[in-house]
Structure 1
């Protein structure tokens, strides 16, 4: 019971962070591996998806009620993200992600440095592409980051947010809201694959899902209340934490 309570609390906090800017896996996945060190990694990753997909989906609904989103662009992008995630998950069965694992901290560092250097980036919502170009670009982002999520995963939500801000001219609030839809698609694709392989502890995942949704509700309300500047600040903090975590995993941890 104590083990389940610990990961449920982690799921609550993960849902909170994930709703604002992504990065909930930074909290929940290490908690699962710490509490259940002898469990198969695929089962822990599948259980994480079994909890996280509900919080992300709930956050998408909440954002959609309050933020105007370009659904004509995001719908095909979500399908592209789902397809990319499935392709990435299939590829990881053939190719080791070891090289990407070592490159990831440097990629995240570049994202952080760029965001800090461009102090006004993402503060104003100013999409600069036409409807068709927006749909094409969003679908490209969806399939690229969706593939990454299926192949490796850490920081998926943050990459979605950054690219929506940088390439499409969204502010951080609209980018975060859009990222939730695409991340829901990639989470769902991964969950289906894990479930078909029997790698989900449903008894734990469902309890954690309730906590994840509760955290998601709190995080979404804060993001909507405080706007793009607040989301930008959380984005910087989460990317900084991801740099430390992925750097440790790649170069320090045996």
Structure 2
């Protein structure tokens, strides 16, 4: 692909900043970064691979910040991280073999259910709840399933992790965000390895976005540590509703 103009690199920096900020708080930064990459004219596969590289850097900063704040100590988390990494590689490899059409139709409705459940349950994630599943079983089940999904398709990965950790592990939204980001980083890196092996990454575009990501992710993670669930819940709801609307619009447009 031909080189991008300085203006394009500047706009990608801003998109990386906005995506990193939103992603660190509630996930869904790809709603900003993927369209920005596609707007440069790069092929969809390269846009997705480039997005995985730049978002991995921002997510790594958020995970580091959450780790320092003690939000990555949940039992079973590092098993979920390891399995998410491996499963996402399998998911990325399966893209060329399996049909995504069913997921494209199903995921918007699942995300809508997440949004409605969260909106109606006003205490969702405000306080720690009751643990309903063994952390090890949870890590094995969701590490494999959500990790594979992130490598294969991806939209809503963070939302599904957040809902699962609050509902089944009893974490509050602050702890759920730390768990989600660590697992999400692993699946990003696993699928990124596959994109790199296929040459589907635009490095200069990724470099511009990484600069913005690092700043945005650090600011967003800092706000989560200071503000907690009071900040996360409204941003989480806004992101899930926006992602649902976008995916439904894409489905109707097709």
- Shorter-chain TM-score category? over 0.9
Question: Would you say 1:93 and 2:101 are equivalent positions?
Answer: no
Q: Does 1:28 pair with 2:33? A: yes
- CA drift of 1:71 comes to 5.0
RMSD over aligned Cα atoms? 1.4
Please, which of 49, 52, 66 is the counterpart of residue 49 of structure 1? 52
What SS does the corresponding residue of 1:138 show, helix, strand or coil? Answer: helix
The within-5 A match list for 1:142-157 is 142-157=143-158
**2-structure distance, mates of 1:113, 1:155:** 14
| Aligned 1:1-254 pairs, distance under 5 A | 1-36=6-41, 39-70=42-73, 72-126=75-129, 128=131, 133-252=134-253, 254=254
- 1:35: Cα distance to partner? 2.4
Work out whether residues 71 and 179 of structure 2, in 8 Å CA contact, stay in contact via their aligned partners in 1: no
Shift of 1:30: 0.9
TM value normalised by structure 1: 0.94
Deviation of the 1:127 alpha carbon = 5.2
Asked whether the equivalents of residues 93 and 194 of structure 2 are also in contact (C-alpha less than 8 Å), the reply is no
Give CA deviations for 1:41-85 in whole Å, capped at 9, x if unaligned: 111111111111011011001011113433541111001111221
- For structure 2, the 5+ residue unaligned runs are 1-5
Contact 2:71 2:174 (8 Å CA) reproduced:
no
Query: Shift of the alpha carbon at 1:118?
Result: 1.5
What displacement does 1:135 show? 2.2
TM-score (norm 2): 0.94
Partner of 2:3: none
Query: Could you give the per-residue CA deviations for residues 95-122 of structure 1, whole angstroms, max 9, x where no partner exists?
Result: 1201110111111111111112211121
> How many angstroms does 1:32 deviate by?
0.8
CA distance in 2, matches of 1:99, 1:71: 33
Runs (5+) with no aligned partner, structure 1: none
Residues 186-218 of structure 1: CA distance to partner in whole angstroms, max 9, x if unpaired? Answer: 110111111111111112212211210110011
| Aligned-partner Cα distance in 2 for 1:141–1:97 | 20
- Equivalenced residue count is 249
Shift of the 176–68 alpha-carbon distance from structure 1 to 2, 3 Å rule, reads closer
